[in-house]
Chains A and B, each alone.
Chain A
Amino acid sequence: MSGKAYSGAEIIINSLVDLGVEVIFGYPGGAVLPLYDALFAQDKIRHILVRHEQAAVHAAEGYARSTGKVGVVLVTSGPGATNAVTGLTDAMLDSIPIICITGQVPVHLIGSDAFQEADTVGITRHCTKHNYLVKDVDKLSRIVHEAFYVATSGRPGPVVIDVPKDIQIFTSTNIHSGAIKHRSYRPEVKGDISAIKEAVEILAGAKKPIFYSGGGVINSGPAAAQLLREFVRLTGAPITSTLMGLGAYPASDKQFLGMLGMHGTYEANHAMHDCDVMVCVGARFDDRVTGRLEAFSPNSKKIHIDIDRSSINKTVRVDVPIVGDVAHVLEDMLKLWKAAILEKGQQSYADWWAEIDKWRERDCLRYAKTKDTIMPQYALERLQALTKDKDVYFTTEVGQHQMWAAQYLKLEDPNRFMTSGGLGTMGYGFPAAIGVQIAHPNALVIDVAGEASIQMNIQELGTAMQYGLPVKIFILNNEYMGMVRQWQEMNHGARYSQSYSESLPDFVALAKAYGAHGITVDRPADLDGAIREMMETDGLVIVDCRVEKLANCFPMVPSGAAHNEMILPDEEEIKEFEGGAALV
């Protein structure tokens, strides 16, 4: 407690400084003017002015996911808050720590349908981990600190603090500082040691083990990825990863089977289907991963490490649930494993690897090379090859290009791949790239985009130019909402209803209009040159890479199919599965 009285707005800004916040992504409006006034009067926090509130949240997500810090957003009441909802939902589904401060009409006007009033806590209750409506300025400082604790501890997520305009003006001497304990919310980080023992025993007896890791490893922090690498290498077992987990284990390692799931590799999905012990590390058996549930890895014992108890047994029954933080649990597992090896010796899994190598021989990411048109897969292979020695971060939008990026960009490190996994938000990638570039000003930040997705937050070109951010937008332009078109081809008789990208802008001219640089490339022979030009150009670049229009994304586990019923690129015969058309 200090004797000096501060306004609510000052309390918020000072609390954010106290909590180590350096950047806020936001957009002003009537109900947050006192807060913007307080921002104006200080120089510890940098404010990044976006062009739409949805982009503020995605930028904060990119910032958070590439640094491990909290992303902070500031928007006004009403439309400011409702525009942020998509971003908040995205952060909720991908477990990204976000603090979103929303302005609200003065307390006495709440409920009167005042100008720019929306029931923000009501609207965001379902898309946040928690939210607050502050009605007493004396509680404000504590709430901001508590919100940080909630956003970052346990399974991370977005937290909204809705602050009426008069609360921003009223003063208080109640100032909280430092860490906080919540009255009821105290997630466990240590796993139950008897469950961990049981898991190690089961794993030690396995003949066909597999690790299946997810975004939880990245959320847990760099130590978790290190421990995962050490443990997996020590066991000699294969490992696959979800979309959200890519980079936690290096893609170039021979034990890595690539991504699993709907567009996962043949070897990863078959290994998941045939394994006898599965160790799920910070993943959640999402429907994009499991395929048809009844046919999911039918003969395996399943060990599941997750910090969120509600993720365990939600869709797939597991044999050994371990509730705890991935890094803490892996540390304990690793110790017990080392002791087990000393006692029993290390298994080689040679037969298992022989099976896996047969699946690998299918070379499931092979695609037909073309002379005249650029295959999207080829574009990403070249992008990977030419950027691999750089300090590079990738973001993606959502659709075919996103899955190709996951397949062909070989990610070696965690926090380097920002993508909208759970919600599948088109328009995520570019603002996320802005957030990444703010956090890593000297890095190469590339948004792998489609021509449809990029238009969903194209207005952020203004933001990137204002702050001189040299983000590279690499558009795989096939003139279709590619994934929609692919599904229409597979499930709806190739009736391409509304999936053609009509009236596209001239992306080069668009770049020029904002003062950026644009490149068009449509021949394979010119691709490397275009990528080099993109990298060598200072400042923002849009590459309009014209690719084969009707390329499909394979391999694929169609909706309603099992892991061992994949469609491969060379047997592009399209099978329909019962009920598949009704599934998402």
Chain B
Amino acid sequence: MHHTHKEIELAERHTLSIIVDNEAGVLARVIGLFSGRGYNIEHLTVAPVDLQGTESRITVVTIGTPPVIEQIKAQLDRLVPVHRVGDLTESGPHVERELALIKIHCKGEQQQAALRIAEAFRAKIVDSSFESYIFEVTGKTDKIKAFIRLMEDVGLVEAVRTGVAALTRGAQAL
């Protein structure tokens, strides 16, 4: 999508929650809408959330000017298998978390540094060998990014992130 300078300045980050029928092709419909109309996807998570497995919840973090965000929601809402579209950024306080696995390769002093950082970030060791660790860390996107950045200096091998999962605060559902 073509962005003017003004559009980039006014762009906002929004976390959208989309309840969909858990049917074949539904994710392709949602992603296809974003790519076909030139919208951005920063994060995407999807999994069935009810016991019967009939409904899935998709969380999308997207960036756009307020009219574009409005359009994204309206376009999502008219997809046939979409039940509800919620804008968590707009609807008020909400909790956002993502999980990351980070593999590092290090020895000696670097190893001590890695463990100290991991402790500060409340990361768990989920795999270790003589010269490597895999850490599991959860938190907001900023925290995950900061953790990965620090690990680059002590021997980052690779990292994987789940993308954001989010819920509104309080007793209300979407």
Q: Which residues of A contact B (CB under 8 A)?
A: 121-122, 125-126, 129-130, 133, 150, 154-155, 182-185, 308-310, 312-314, 317
Report Cα–Cα, A182/B28, bound state, in Å: 20
Which chain B residues lie closer than 8 Å to A314 at the CB level?
Answer: 71, 74
Question: Is B145 on the interface with A (CB-CB < 8 A)?
Answer: no
**8 Å CB interface, B49-108 against A:** 67, 70-71, 74-75, 77-78, 80-83
Instruction: Give the residue name and chain of the A residue nearest to B82 (CB).
Output: A184
Question: Is B25 on the interface with A (CB-CB < 8 A)?
Answer: yes
A122-B80 in contact (CB<8A):
no
A185-B80 in contact (CB<8A):
yes
Which chain A residues lie closer than 8 Å to B28 at the CB level?
Answer: 122, 125
B71-A150 in contact (CB<8A):
no
Choice from A126, A133, A317 contacting B36 with Cβ under 8 Å: A126
Q: What's the least CB distance linking A469 to chain B, in Å?
A: 35
A184-B21 in contact (CB<8A):
yes
- 15 of the cross-chain contacts (CB-CB < 8 Å) are A121-B25, A122-B28, A125-B25, A125-B28, A126-B32, A133-B24, A182-B80, A183-B21, A184-B81, A309-B77, A310-B71, A310-B77, A310-B78, A312-B74, A314-B71
Known: A126-B36, A150-B80, A185-B80. A310 touches B74 (CB 8 A): yes
Q: Which residues of B contact A (CB under 8 A)?
A: 20-21, 24-25, 28-29, 32, 36, 67, 70-71, 74-75, 77-78, 80-83
How many A-B residue contacts, CB cutoff 8 Å? 42
Task: Given contact pairs A155-B78, A184-B81, enumerate 16 new A-B contacts (beta carbons under 8 Å).
Answer: A125-B25, A125-B28, A125-B29, A126-B32, A130-B80, A150-B80, A182-B80, A184-B80, A185-B81, A308-B78, A309-B78, A310-B75, A310-B78, A313-B71, A314-B71, A314-B74
Which chain B residues lie closer than 8 Å to A185 at the CB level?
Answer: 80-81
Looking at chain A's contact residues, is the secondary structure mostly helix, strand, loop, or mixed?
loop
Which chain A residues lie closer than 8 Å to B71 at the CB level?
Answer: 310, 313-314
Q: Which of A130, A133, A309 has the most CB of B within 10 A?
A: A309
B32-A313 in contact (CB<8A):
no
Q: What's the least CB distance linking B54 to chain A, in Å?
A: 9
Q: What's the least CB distance linking B36 to chain A, in Å?
A: 5
Instruction: Give the residue name and chain of the B residue nearest to A126 (CB).
Output: B36
Which chain A residues lie closer than 8 Å to B78 at the CB level?
Answer: 154-155, 308-310
Choice from B32, B67, B70 contacting A125 with Cβ under 8 Å: B32
Report Cα–Cα, A133/B29, bound state, in Å: 14
Report Cα–Cα, A182/B70, bound state, in Å: 25
B67-A313 in contact (CB<8A):
yes
B83-A184 in contact (CB<8A):
yes
Which chain A residues lie closer than 8 Å to B36 at the CB level?
Answer: 126
Report Cα–Cα, A312/B67, bound state, in Å: 10
Known: A150-B80, A309-B77, A309-B78. A133 touches B25 (CB 8 A): yes
Instruction: Give the residue name and chain of the A residue nearest to B76 (CB).
Output: A310
B74-A309 in contact (CB<8A):
yes
Q: Which of A129, A154, A183, A310 has the most CB of B within 10 A?
A: A310
Report Cα–Cα, A185/B77, bound state, in Å: 9
Report Cα–Cα, A124/B21, bound state, in Å: 19
The 3 closest A-B pairs by CB, nearest first: A310-B74, A130-B80, A184-B83
Report Cα–Cα, A266/B83, bound state, in Å: 45
Instruction: Give the residue name and chain of the A residue nearest to B66 (CB).
Output: A313
Report Cα–Cα, A308/B32, bound state, in Å: 19
Which chain B residues lie closer than 8 Å to A126 at the CB level?
Answer: 32, 36
Report Cα–Cα, A86/B130, bound state, in Å: 61
Q: What's the least CB distance linking B63 to chain A, in Å?
A: 19
Q: What's the least CB distance linking B16 to chain A, in Å?
A: 15
Q: What's the least CB distance linking A102 to chain B, in Å?
A: 15
Instruction: Give the residue name and chain of the B residue nearest to A154 (CB).
Output: B78
Which chain A residues lie closer than 8 Å to B25 at the CB level?
Answer: 121, 125, 133
Choice from A129, A133, A308, A317 contacting B80 with Cβ under 8 Å: A129
Which chain B residues lie closer than 8 Å to A150 at the CB level?
Answer: 80
Q: What's the least CB distance linking A68 to chain B, in Å?
A: 22
Q: What's the least CB distance linking A296 to chain B, in Å?
A: 15
Instruction: Give the residue name and chain of the A residue nearest to B83 (CB).
Output: A184
Report Cα–Cα, A154/B82, bound state, in Å: 15
Which chain A residues lie closer than 8 Å to B32 at the CB level?
Answer: 125-126
Report Cα–Cα, A130/B24, bound state, in Å: 13
Q: Which of B24, B32, B78 has the most CB of A within 10 A?
A: B78
Q: What's the least CB distance linking B108 to chain A, in Å?
A: 51
Which chain B residues lie closer than 8 Å to A130 at the CB level?
Answer: 80
Which chain B residues lie closer than 8 Å to A122 at the CB level?
Answer: 28
Choice from A129, A133, A184, A317 contacting B67 with Cβ under 8 Å: A317
Q: What's the least CB distance linking A191 to chain B, in Å?
A: 16
Report Cα–Cα, A125/B82, bound state, in Å: 15
Report Cα–Cα, A155/B70, bound state, in Å: 19
Which chain A residues lie closer than 8 Å to B20 at the CB level?
Answer: 184
Q: What's the least CB distance linking B70 to chain A, in Å?
A: 6
Which chain B residues lie closer than 8 Å to A155 at the CB level?
Answer: 78
Report Cα–Cα, A184/B81, bound state, in Å: 6
Q: What's the least CB distance linking A266 to chain B, in Å?
A: 31
Which chain B residues lie closer than 8 Å to A183 at the CB level?
Answer: 21, 83
Report Cα–Cα, A396/B70, bound state, in Å: 36
Report Cα–Cα, A130/B33, bound state, in Å: 12
Q: What's the least CB distance linking A195 to chain B, in Å?
A: 16
Which chain A residues lie closer than 8 Å to B67 at the CB level?
Answer: 313, 317
Which chain B residues lie closer than 8 Å to A121 at the CB level?
Answer: 25
Instruction: Give the residue name and chain of the B residue nearest to A155 (CB).
Output: B78
Which chain B residues lie closer than 8 Å to A308 at the CB level?
Answer: 78
Q: What's the least CB distance linking B44 to chain A, in Å?
A: 17
Q: Which of B25, B29, B80 has the most CB of A within 10 A?
A: B80
Report Cα–Cα, A145/B24, bound state, in Å: 19
Q: What's the least CB distance linking A111 to chain B, in Å?
A: 13
Report Cα–Cα, A150/B82, bound state, in Å: 13
Report Cα–Cα, A182/B25, bound state, in Å: 17
